[in-house]
Amino acid sequence: MSLDEIDRILSPEEEILPSSGFTASVMDAVRREAAAPQPIPFPWKRASPGVALAGLAMVFAVIIVADFTRVIRQASAVRVPSTWMSALAPIFHDPLHPEAVWLAVAFVVTLASIMVSFRLASGRA
């Protein structure tokens, strides 16, 4: 089969006519679309304090995890802990341990940012 013959067959392909209700159906859909309320944009302005707090909490968390990892490494250099719990035990047993304070700060900041976000989202701020 030649290319000319392929061209000849494919060019005058049958043309179909729109069904009688097509225009009305499209216009109904368009009117529904026009009548639908516009999507509510995300309230970035109101959410920005929460977002900033969440960012800060994230930075704190990274610092704490890095610090915590360093402490674990130091502890395992002295003696090999049998489990993770035994590695964590000295931190929680000593309330003045600086890592415990950092953990508490991170926890409070995270909790506060979650609460602020919830208040902003529910419109009670």
Q: Which residues bind other proteins (CB under 8 A)?
A: 1-3, 6-7, 9-11, 13, 15-19, 22-23, 25-27, 29-31, 33-34
Instruction: Please report how close the Cβ of residue 42 comes to other proteins at its closest, in angstroms.
Output: 19
- Beta carbon nearer to other proteins, 33 or 83: 33
Closest by CA position to 75, among listed 66, 64, 86: 86
The DSSP secondary structure of 76-89, one letter per residue, reads HHHS--SSHHHHHH
Q: Give the type of residue at 22.
A: F
Instruction: Please report how close the Cβ of residue 29 comes to other proteins at its closest, in angstroms.
Output: 6
- Beta carbon nearer to other proteins, 24 or 78: 24
